[in-house]
Structure 1
């Protein structure tokens, strides 16, 4: 069980690190003017669009722009807190993992629904999003399993505590 927990921590921490860096540097280029960014970042963003043929990033519809704003305002701070919580072994990081995982499942449902429904997505683009699905499920499971462990331990102590009182 310890190895699975460490693996889940590693997956969620890696995703949180990626989001903590990528959201302000790359995702924000979708909603803010590119003149605010250094040329190398804009070039990397353009390379990404060309390399993965990400039509949503290239010509974002209003719904996608709204999701990106949610990423920046909501998910980015949660991922920063989550990374800190995992690295410092805070108990509340289970909650931030659960929040980030549920958010990503919701986000990916909208994105993948558009990609699959429109028929515009390439296999390579869908493969790019696959690790995020793995993260989302892992983060939800980490949050749920970590939250139930202290409760289970407290419940197992309750009957013995009652015996000692009597």
Structure 2
């Protein structure tokens, strides 16, 4: 189980890093004023749209604008917290991984649903988005299956100490 945990942690950190960088630098360009971004970042987004033929980023539909706002306000801070929490071995990282995984998987379900329904997505574009759906599943499992305190070291709850016989 240790190897699987290490791989899951590596996947969570890698994808959280890409989200932490891409959300404010590329995705946010669709919802924030262009004057906030220097020309090289605007060129990077144009290159990405052309290289991957990402029709959603070229002309984002209304639902995708909502997804970008969700990423900026919720997923971006969670991704930063995931990177720190997993690398520092914090217990709360399981909770942030679970939240980030659910958020990412939900967003990817909407985006991949639109891509498959429209028939406009090319295989190269799908190969870019599908790993994020897989990351969502891995992050959820990492959050649910993380190690918890063993019963011998756990702090007793008030209910369990109330049941003890008083002498």
TM-score, normalising length: structure 1: 0.89
Q: Could you tell me which residue of structure 1 aligns to residue 159 of structure 2?
A: none
Residues 1-166 of structure 1 mapped to structure 2, 5 A cutoff: 1-146=1-146, 149-150=147-148, 153-154=150-151
SS at match of 1:14: helix
Structure 2: give runs of 5+ residues left out of the alignment: 157-163
TM-score, normalising length: structure 2: 0.88
Q: Name segments (4+ residues, structure 1) moved above 6 Å.
A: 155-158
In 2, Cα distance between equivalents of 1:24 and 1:93: 22
Number of residue equivalences: 157
- Structure 1 residues 127-146: Cα deviation after superposition (integer angstroms, max 9, x where no partner): 11121122111101100100
In 2, Cα distance between equivalents of 1:39 and 1:51: 18
The structural deviation recorded for 1:33 is 2.1
Structure holding more helix per residue: 1
Superposed CA RMSD in Å reads: 1.9
In 2, Cα distance between equivalents of 1:30 and 1:58: 9
Structure 1: give runs of 5+ residues left out of the alignment: 159-164
In 1, Cα distance between equivalents of 2:58 and 2:52: 10
Q: Could you tell me which residue of structure 2 aligns to residue 162 of structure 1?
A: none
In 2, Cα distance between equivalents of 1:65 and 1:95: 26
